[in-house]
Structure 1
């Protein structure tokens, strides 16, 4: 059986789909079905907006405290780290996080690529020398992710969805992996509540494909609750 798959040009600011067909024994997501989930998409957007706006207000003291500590640790470096990520349909967007690394972390990356401890199109090492002392704490507790609520309000991300990949990671994707880009990326998702950095790339893709195929409001709310529990335990984060 032949299946239709959509590929994207991740170097463009605009969606640039092209179609490719080939035999496959893998289970593929019906992209047309995803587009037809209008009621679910509307309710998901409403949950994203209400929860993100309320969350920013409720946790504003924590956000201000983290911002102060990040600035105090390195007064001449930016508090917010802005990075290009790949979103739905391969459209790049700027994702925000509290800076948890030294200011020249990106320049040092090339020297560390051979130390990658995650299999597949991701880069993670437990003892990353670029991470600051306070950065270790906010990574372990996921407090560095709080600015992503701005991305949710803007519509670039959702509270729940696949992890937003880097452009250099997407270059290594197979056509099967590209299915992760059928929906908005999320601040959290199945990968984050299932071991986070202890889960390798192929497992993450499997989690994401299953999530996209079975996503529902009930599942999203369940994952939001699980995310809060995982943040409290700080398991698998580095």
Structure 2
């Protein structure tokens, strides 16, 4: 039974009741805070599940539809220059996990041996990324598939496997991560993607610090609606070929 309080209770008894009320209010505040945290975790779990569902549906559909074209591109790469049609490259994903990212080979097979000779002609500041507008290591077919972003299509397989997402920061090379600042490392807080904010904002024309800023902005504001918007804006960005080489 509930405790009955004498109306003429002493001041100490009244103080005890007040203390119990304060403790109860504090407990309720903590409980509400706990519920909010659970809600955020639930929303995060649901958001991640929805993002993964979108990745699987879109990547599987595109791979099925584009299969004949992918076969023709692979044949063109083989006929154009010596070497395999596909090029697996070790990249760094979420939380520093390494994985093999797949691309159509767009360079000659000895490209890495000649990279050191070309470093002085790197047009990107900061010495983290290496990009050249007229890289002599790129093959004839490679130049076309790079400009049209066709060389990235095999990464749909990485998306289907779960190594990557459709939308997220581009996965860097281990050698690039070795030069990252503490701020740059925040790019690894999310699953890497095929496209993201800086891919629709100028691509390689943007300096590296701006690429990092846009990637971190995406990570802090990501949502399923934002992913769909970025995917829709990627199509005209690919068609324009701005910053692609």
Pick one of 80, 85, 96 that aligns with 1:79: 85
> Which ranges of structure 2 fall in alignment gaps of 5 or more residues?
1-39
Counterpart in 2 of 1:191? 198
Residue number in structure 1 paired with 2:228: 221
Shift of residue 233, structure 1, vs aligned partner: 1.5
- Which residue of structure 2 lines up, in the alignment, with residue 165 of structure 1? 172
1:112 maps to which of 107, 112, 118? 118
Offset of residue 82 of structure 1: 0.7
Shift of 1:61: 1.9
Q: What do you get for the CA RMSD once the two structures are aligned? A: 1.4
The one-character-per-residue Cα deviations of 1:177-217 (angstroms, maximum 9, x if unpaired) are 10000011101111111100101110000000100000000
2:156 corresponds to which residue?
Answer: 149
Distance 1:208 1:51 in 2: 22
- Aligned to 1:192, the other structure's residue is in SS state helix
The structure with the greater share of residues assigned to strand is 1
**From 89, 93, 97, the counterpart of 2:95:** 89
2:18 equivalent in structure 1: none
Shift of 1:34: 9.0
Structure number with bigger Rg: 2
Structure 1 equivalent of residue 106 of structure 2: 100
SS for the counterpart of 1:37 is: helix
Extract unaligned runs of 5+ from structure 1. 1-32
User: Which structure's residues are more often helix, by fraction?
Assistant: 2
Taking the TM superposition and a 5 Å limit, the aligned residue runs for 1:1-238 are 37-74=44-81, 76-120=82-126, 121-238=128-245
Would you identify which runs of 4 or more consecutive aligned residues in structure 1 move more than 6 Å? 33-36
Q: TM-score, normalised by structure 2?
A: 0.81
Q: What secondary structure, in the 3-state scheme, does the structure 2 residue paired with 1:100 have? A: coil
TM-score after normalising by structure 1: 0.84
Aligned length: 205
- SS of 1:159's partner is strand
- C-alpha change, 1:91 and 1:212, in structure 2 (3 Å) is same
